[in-house]
Amino acid sequence: MAEKKQPDIYQVKVTLEGIRPPIWRRILVTSDTTLGKLHSIFQVIMGWDDYHLHQFIINGTYYGPPDPDLMLDLKDENKMRLDQVVLQEQKKFIYEYDFGDSWYHKILIEKILPPDTKKHYPVCIKGKRACPPEDCGGESGYDYFLEAIQDPDHPEHEEMLEWRGDSFDPEAFDIDGVNMILKKIR
């Protein structure tokens, strides 16, 4: 009996568009990862809470969660694997999260690597800066939020800190914490 071929490993860079300095992550995932699972991985690595709708836009085709009400014309992300939609390095596509705030993520397949059976996938190998809080109002709302929390004299300083519920460091990224959560994704 032939040995089952292990899936390739995709090195993927995820960059949140419209924010400067950039917020980004670099991850390794198996090529047979479904887009639905990739969504779950993106939620973890970016620090989102999965409260909102999302979609992938790949070569002009839209993929997302199954919609029994057919309100959105999306192909089922759970039936499509990464290696079925992206076959080569340096290919880009879009992941949109939260259709109200419209967080667009540029996804770049940087490299396709041979499998390493000693490693657990998915894994985050690098990243920069904290992701904006959920429901902060998109790019302009995030800019306003940062302005308010960083200026004690800002009229909404206390309100924004209270809304956030804890301190917020826009430069922080806890790669170890992210990888602990990613280990639970199968």
The string of pLDDT tens digits covering residues 22-66 is: 999 999 999 999 999 999 999 999 999 999 999 999 999 999 998
Find the farthest-apart pair of alpha carbons in the chain and give their distance in angstroms, rounded.
71
CA trace torsion 160, 180, 183, 178 (10° rounding): 40
Q: How far apart are CA 184 and CA 186, in angstroms?
A: 6
Q: Which residues contact 92 (CB under 8 A, 6 or more apart)?
A: 106, 107, 108, 109
Q: What percent of the chain has pLDDT over 90?
A: 76
The string of pLDDT tens digits covering residues 146-156 is: 999 989 899 99
- If you average pLDDT over every residue of the chain, what do you get? 92
Q: How far apart are CA 37 and CA 50, in angstroms?
A: 12
Residue 166 has pLDDT above 80, yes or no: no
Residue 1 has pLDDT above 60, yes or no: no
Amino acid at 69: D
Which CATH fold topology does 9-130+171-182 show? Answer: 3.10.290
Give the start-to-end residue ranges of the domains of the chain.
9-130+171-182, 131-170
Amino acid at 50: D
